[in-house]
Amino acid sequence: YAPPAPETVGKAIIFLKPLAHRARIQTWASVLDASGKQVGELQVALQPTQLDFVTGQRPVLDPKEALGDQCAAIIRIQQARNLPTGLNSNVHVKYSADGMEDKTTPVAQGKQTAPRFDHRDHLS
């Protein structure tokens, strides 16, 4: 017996412009399939920090004020919801950003239309 190959449910895009202002992002991002149809939502949060991943960054009105500053962020992939019934077994999230290797959340075991990941990672 060979388990079925993983299938992609869709992609969720998080726009990072608020990070240029050192502002926190917390959103339910639409998960879109290859044809652009919404097939679920993904709850994601990004908190800008200093490189120690503990000390927060002070928001700025003009991103030019932050030019040259080093910044890191904590990403939290909390959960998904409204996933399609046929593609919701043993779900995980693969994520990346420019200049970064793909990373993956732990698998949410079983069939779930609203799997919880409670995943936290550091981005720098």
Residues paired with 74 in a beta bridge: 47, 122
How many other CB atoms sit within 10 Å of the CB of residue 41? 18
The DSSP string of 17-45 is: HHHHTT--EEEEEEEE-TTS-EEEEEEEE
pLDDT reported for residue 64: 86
The more confidently predicted of residues 71 and 92 is 92
Side-chain-side CA neighbours of residue 39 (13 Å): 16
**How much is the pTM?**
0.86
* Residue 120 pLDDT class (50, 70, 90 cuts): very high
pLDDT reported for residue 106: 93
Q: How far apart are CA 88 and CA 95, in angstroms?
A: 18
Q: 103 and 96 in contact (C-beta within 8 Å)? A: yes
pLDDT tens digits, 31-57: 999 999 999 999 999 999 988 998 888
Closest Cα partner for 71 from 49, 54, 87? Answer: 49
The tokens describing 52, both together, are: 């120690």
